[in-house]
Structure 1
Amino acid sequence: MVNFVSMQNPKVSVLIPFKNTEEFLSECISSIIDQTYQNWEVLAVNDGSDDNSCQIMDHYANHDSRITVLQNEGQGIIHALRTAYSKSNGSLITRMDSDDMMTPNKLQLMTTALLKNGLGHVALGKVSYFSKEGVSNGYKSYEKWLNRLSEKGTNFSEIYKECVIPSPCWMVHRSDLDKAKAFTPDQYPEDYDLAFRFYEKQFKCIPSENVLHYWRDYQDRTSRTSEHYAQNYFLDLKMHYFLKLDHDKNRPLVLWGAGKKGKNIAKILVEQGVPFFWLCNNQQKIGKIIYGQHMLSYKHLPQLNRPQVIVTVANKEAQEFIKEHLQGMNMLLAEDYFLFC
């Protein structure tokens, strides 16, 4: 018989890889201890720290039995997440970064959302970047874009643009995480890869109007310094999943844009032998041959039968023109055209 209390008050496993974040750990763990929802466990995995991070985590573990400190069974953040997950017992799973902070109601709101919506859903929250040095325009723009999607739960509609699931601000049912292969793949960036696997399993994002996570930015943050988060990793991941999940071989594939990203995508398509039409609205490039492909005018698009379009143009004004043009042809976002920047 299923325990009714456990159904209404399930244990949440919080997975926290940490490495040399002694300056921020106390704020992070305190924000978890202060949660309004108290049925949680923390699996904190040391990934080779050489500062006082382990001592700080041990101190908290000695004073709160819900906190367990582990040593990474491998090396790197993916192995740390695997280690944490293998030792976890919660029916709901979330990830936390050791340099960030939760709002006091984060676990309560996400748990409530999952219990209300059931399996096949991802609970999200809006995020807020902060930094001693001030938040850059790039991060402000990402925050605004990500929160706009999370408010409506339409995150997956723009999944090829950037990672649409904030790595430290999601929660899912354990069985759903297993269904999506959890932290099994050795694929970086690991948060983006997991988002694609949620998308592949057709999970639905639960809309959220609340800021639930304070995302710290600083120069030594792993996402800024590790080679695993270089742009080529992101682009290779996008193309892998697009060709696997959304590319229809029975429809003509169109690449719109001949800037740096457009050329990189064209190179991938050529190398993999995927046929495509290459369009742009830059008069100086129309008619040129690049990577053996003839650059066509965007006005060629209506001549193609039910094309799929990859949009690689980053300029906001140009992108609005492109979206209006495609919508004028009754093309739908995430079905007929896909934003890659």
Structure 2
Amino acid sequence: MSALSVLLPVRNAVTTIARAVASVQAQTWTDWELVVVDDGSTDGTRAWLRAAARAEPRLRLIEQPAQGIVAALNAGLAAARGRFIARMDADDECHPERLAVQTAFLADHPTIGLVACRVGYGGDRSVQAGYAHHVDWQNGLVTPDQIALNRFVESPLAHPSVMFRREVVERHGGYRDGDWPEDYELWLRWLEAGVAMAKVPRELLTWHDPAGRLSRTDPRYGPEAFFRVKAGYVAREVGRLRGPDPEVWIWGAGRPTRKRAAMLTEHGVRIVGYVDIDPRKTGNRVGGVPVIGPEALPPPGSIFVLGYVGKRGARETTRAALTQRGYREGRDFLMGA
């Protein structure tokens, strides 16, 4: 049995699969199996993989009709034999020391259930500046506290960069199918269950950004899907911090923010007011609740605030304003966008 299984689902990636497999074969850590799940490829990927499996005994090919990414991932999890499981995608590249560094990290930190790494952005920063900014944001989250506190902003981990313990899957379950990004739902569920996650502060994977990737073409990876899936997790976390039937103030009174924050009410959260820096909005009432400026916030401990403004730079402004007023992140407020 290998100490490590690398799980790689693939469909129609004949132009990139050789590069991805070669990057695993080039690892300094050699005790691995590469579990490749071909999910109904029709472009020559499967033929290439069959030939590669004949030449590389550590490559285990699972063939299935097209069932989708979640079915492919769970088929791979069921087949994986390693104590640790690393993710990999068919259009990305591992750096040579990735598996060695992450395996050593998990061996040295028994309380950590999952470790990711920083990733290099393999796209055009001038064309896809928003996604590049997201990669930079992710790379800044390294410690378990940073990852946990920012988990409701966006996915704090690049999916193909993670390695986790098999026991975490056995205890808390694998991927779930639904109208949400399957990796983000998994991180939220595991974090809620108390799984500590960290990140090696080294760039150990190149995360490519092709135009046809699922996160660009499938509505399950759109902004509204992220807000839907995290609403229940946010509500439960606020309930844990504030007790049943929690009341919250939402930072941000614009229509998109209110629409997304309203998803929380379906999970028992009561929005009692909005905070906004725009003087044209303060002093009004929206949906029957007041809109106040930051200067009118009650003292820390008396209310709970969720930062739901997604405009670039607004999160940092919101966090700084609340911190300056004595609010403590994770106790008095959380960032949700």
Query: Deviations for 1:140-198, whole angstroms, at most 9, x for unmatched residues?
Result: 21121111112787222211111012100111110022222122554620110111122
SS of alignment partner, residue 240 of structure 1: helix
- Structural mapping, 1:1-341, within 5 Å: 11-72=3-64, 75-131=67-123, 136-150=128-142, 154-184=146-176, 186=178, 188-247=180-239, 248-249=242-243, 252-272=247-267, 274-276=269-271, 277-302=273-298, 305-341=301-337
Contact 1:45 1:69 in 2 (8 A): yes
> Which sits farther off after the overlay, 164-173 or 265-274?
265-274
Distance 1:159 1:307, change over 3 A: same
Per-residue deviation at 1:132?
A: 6.6
1:314 counterpart SS class:
coil
1:303, distance to aligned residue in structure 2 (A): 5.9
- Check 1:207–1:42 CA distance in 2 against 1; reply closer, same or farther (3 A cut): closer
Give the distance between the partners of 2:335 and 2:146, measured in 1 at CA: 14
What is the CA-CA distance between 1:135 and the residue it aligns to? 5.8
**Is the CA contact (8 Å cut-off) linking 1:151 and 1:209 kept in structure 2?**
no
Moved more, 254-263 or 180-189: 180-189
1-structure distance, mates of 2:96, 2:300: 53
Task: Give the structure-2-normalised TM-score.
Answer: 0.90
Moved more, 272-281 or 138-147: 272-281
Structure 1 54/235 Cα, relative in aligned 2: closer, same or farther at 3 Å? Answer: same
Structure 2: state its 5+ residue gaps: none
Identity level (%): 25
Counterparts of 1:207 and 1:85, CA distance in 2: 22
Q: In 2, Cα distance between the equivalents of 1:82 and 1:229?
A: 19
Residue 231 of structure 2 aligns to a residue whose secondary structure is helix
Change (3 A) 1:38 1:74: same
Contact kept? 1:252, 1:306, Cα under 8 Å: no
Alignment check: 8 A CA contact 1:161 1:340 kept = yes
Mapped to 1, the partners of 2:269 and 2:51 lie a distance apart of 55
What is the alpha-carbon distance in structure 2 between the residues aligned to residue 272 and residue 204 of structure 1? Answer: 25
Check conservation: 2:300, 2:325, Cα contact below 8 A.
Answer: no
Q: Residues 9 and 72 of structure 2 are in contact (CA less than 8 Å); yes or no, is this contact kept in structure 1?
A: yes
How many Å apart are 1:43 and its aligned residue?
1.3
Q: Which amino acid aligns with 1:174?
A: R
Cα displacement string for residues 272-322 of structure 1 (whole angstroms, at most 9, x for unaligned residues)? 553222221212222434334333333332168532211122345544442
Please tell me the residue identity of whatever aligns with 2:253: A
1:250-289 per-position Cα deviation (integer Å, ceiling 9, x unaligned): 6641111023442123422445553222221212222434
Instruction: Indicate conservation of the 8 Å contact 2:300/2:332, yes or no.
Output: no
Could you tell me how far apart the structure 2 residues matched to 1:216 and 1:125 are? 15
SS of the equivalent of 2:211 reads: coil
Q: How many residues align?
A: 333
In structure 1, stretches of 5+ residues that fail to align are: 1-5
With the length of structure 1 as denominator, give the TM-score of the two structures: 0.89
